[in-house]
Structure 1
């Protein structure tokens, strides 16, 4: 089995980390892998270092879809049995899955193209998910919400849309006292900070950190004056967020830390993981990881989130963009320590029973084998 990954982005978020982990797992299971991604991108470098054959391209130049890039993409795809293409936003008239589909069609490749998605963006075209019905193509969704949406709204045939949850590494994301001690050094906070909230992800508008800061302001001025929020990540809004913290007078209640490949230490350090996203989420890895670590979660209610957060059992959900609801849910969770403990245990059990990443990786391989045999 030769598995290709198409990842048209320079980001290094949860999806890209999943690609690097899937790449390593598939190689360890005896598969050969190919990574097709922008030159210098995180995912290209990580996958090649792990043993994938790399094909890289100029991120800006590829939108011309010229013969040089078409040749490169065709060379990358022609030896793959399957090619998984994350559905990223279009750039001008270019879209990665459509371009890949065109390469497969024009050169009559046997490669099965598999756009993979967890998010729903209403303005996205049907062709982003099923580029060309004259080639062999299916769709993998990582949430049932997304699967139903593609079937009901885009009228993609049900047999072409497969649900496979991504899962999390429950062995890696397990509470550990030594790591807990190390986390105190990695993430130093003011004495007496409590509760400690964490937000992990790209600093950009869709992640809703501005809304979270409003909620933190409300809590600090009210019932939780010693609350502390750590923001872990990188992105275009970082300087704006730091300025906003100063404007809100939260310098003693908010700390920024850089992107990390070891988020386990973040979860050891915090009391509550908050996902404040406004839109374009599927089933965020950070929620799965936190729950595996027995860290209770408060999240925006969207897409696949209700498939893991059972209200009052494994966490709390709020309407996206509602800072009052966010503040209320955080206070409610922290003020009831019995419910807090129950949620931490329930979340861990759910991850162990239904979202173990190794089990899910095997489901991907089983699916690839199944469709290749047809």
Structure 2
């Protein structure tokens, strides 16, 4: 539960609490955001992940009770697990009990294996509409509309944004970054930050590094990998097998990624499946050019020749496509490595401007807050108190 979506949900609840709203969370009992939300939430209701997947109806009464006083429920769109799909289940709780709670679901990556009901369930049929979905990229919004026939009025794009105050470079940060991530002087450092899972494409990035060393295009390349996940041992073995031990360093997950970005010359995301990852926005805010797969929302911020370069993605399930993808990734990295100082400075400035102008977290959060408050006002007449401001935030496993 260290993913960006869960962190976003915790931040959203905190922001709402700060402006006078009462927040109840429904979370898996092993959620890693529990310690954070318990400091400000009115109530935290916990459930068992395994039981919800096997027998979701056993939780319907408890979830409905939590939803009764809530004007708005905010949740995250997730794949069905066993018999449980969180958005459609929350919608069922609301519809079956005749509640007036407005359901807002938030989604990142477009997944063609999802179903229309994942974006509102029974509430897609209510009049007036009693649900909507927020996407983090325009690509995702258009894809959901086209693939599942969701009416445009039920779905809108609000970028996540990034903390532009936190991700600002300082001389002190540069000193600390060298201490945390010591790398030999003169190296062209490529950062890779994220979970070690197949969809993130770290194995493709390692193939790209091998190509750049063999061709001599970037002979001084060094990859700084930061993260954790099921494939970490596989990645470590691949580094050894490819003879890249001196060109790759692997570090554990950090809650302070700005030191990672500061240590790098560019950031690479060779992902097969991605929405609009926080890592890209954070890196661009810190004036780091990026290379990324040309998928989903990433080309909306990685603009060829302006803020970095995109390359064509392969298929995660078809390893025969990985070599061409690695070639594209290598070429993109080589283009940035070949820039002169003026070119790098221009690309850095472009990335920073793009994020500060259109992806500032405070501005983006305000749009979310405005949406929640708008929906709360529309349901207020159904509650006893005109000043009632109570909402439920639900995070799936």
CA contact (8 A) 2:283 2:289 kept: yes
TM-superposed deviation, 1:67: 4.5
Question: Aligned equivalents of 2:173 and 2:65: distance in 1?
Answer: 44
TM-superposed deviation, 1:50: 4.1
Identify the match of residue 155 of structure 2 among 153, 161, 179. 161
Deviation digits for residues 7-46 of structure 1, max 9, x if unmatched? xxxx312222222222222222222222212112112332
Matched, 1:202 2:195: yes
Matched, 1:16 2:10: no
TM-superposed deviation, 1:253: 0.9
Question: Aligned equivalents of 1:52 and 1:289: distance in 2?
Answer: 31
Cα separation, partners in 2 of 1:67 and 1:127, compared to 1, 3 Å: closer
For 2:93, the equivalent position in structure 1 comes to: 103
Identify the match of residue 361 of structure 2 among 327, 348, 357. 357
TM-score by length of 2: 0.87
CA contact (8 A) 1:193 1:227 kept: no
CA contact (8 A) 2:55 2:83 kept: no
- Give structure 2 stretches of 5+ with no counterpart: 315-324, 379-397
Cα separation, partners in 2 of 1:90 and 1:65, compared to 1, 3 Å: same
TM-superposed deviation, 1:158: 1.4
Structure 1 runs of 4+ aligned residues shifted over 4 Å read: none
Question: Aligned equivalents of 1:113 and 1:186: distance in 2?
Answer: 43
Cα separation, partners in 2 of 1:363 and 1:199, compared to 1, 3 Å: same
For 2:370, the equivalent position in structure 1 comes to: 366
Question: Aligned equivalents of 1:317 and 1:243: distance in 2?
Answer: 28
Identify the match of residue 83 of structure 1 among 73, 77, 89. 73
TM-superposed deviation, 1:155: 1.6
TM alignment of 1:3-152, pairs within 5 A: 11-51=1-41, 53-132=43-122, 133-134=124-125, 136-152=130-146
**Of 88-97 and 344-353, the range deviating more from structure 2:** 88-97
- Give structure 1 stretches of 5+ with no counterpart: 1-10
Question: Aligned equivalents of 1:238 and 1:179: distance in 2?
Answer: 27
Question: Aligned equivalents of 1:282 and 1:268: distance in 2?
Answer: 24
Cα separation, partners in 2 of 1:67 and 1:94, compared to 1, 3 Å: closer
CA contact (8 A) 1:87 1:117 kept: yes
For 2:204, the equivalent position in structure 1 comes to: 211
Question: Aligned equivalents of 1:46 and 1:72: distance in 2?
Answer: 23
TM-score by length of 1: 0.93
Identify the match of residue 219 of structure 2 among 210, 215, 225. 225
Question: Aligned equivalents of 2:56 and 2:21: distance in 1?
Answer: 31
Cα separation, partners in 2 of 1:316 and 1:50, compared to 1, 3 Å: farther
Cα separation, partners in 2 of 1:49 and 1:328, compared to 1, 3 Å: same
TM-superposed deviation, 1:262: 0.8
Deviation digits for residues 345-371 of structure 1, max 9, x if unmatched? 011011111111001111111112223
Matched, 1:182 2:176: yes
Question: Aligned equivalents of 1:284 and 1:66: distance in 2?
Answer: 31
Identify the match of residue 283 of structure 1 among 268, 276, 299. 276
Question: Aligned equivalents of 2:275 and 2:330: distance in 1?
Answer: 23
For 2:329, the equivalent position in structure 1 comes to: 326
Cα separation, partners in 2 of 1:153 and 1:209, compared to 1, 3 Å: same
**Of 322-331 and 79-88, the range deviating more from structure 2:** 79-88
Question: Aligned equivalents of 2:243 and 2:42: distance in 1?
Answer: 48
For 1:6, the equivalent position in structure 2 comes to: none
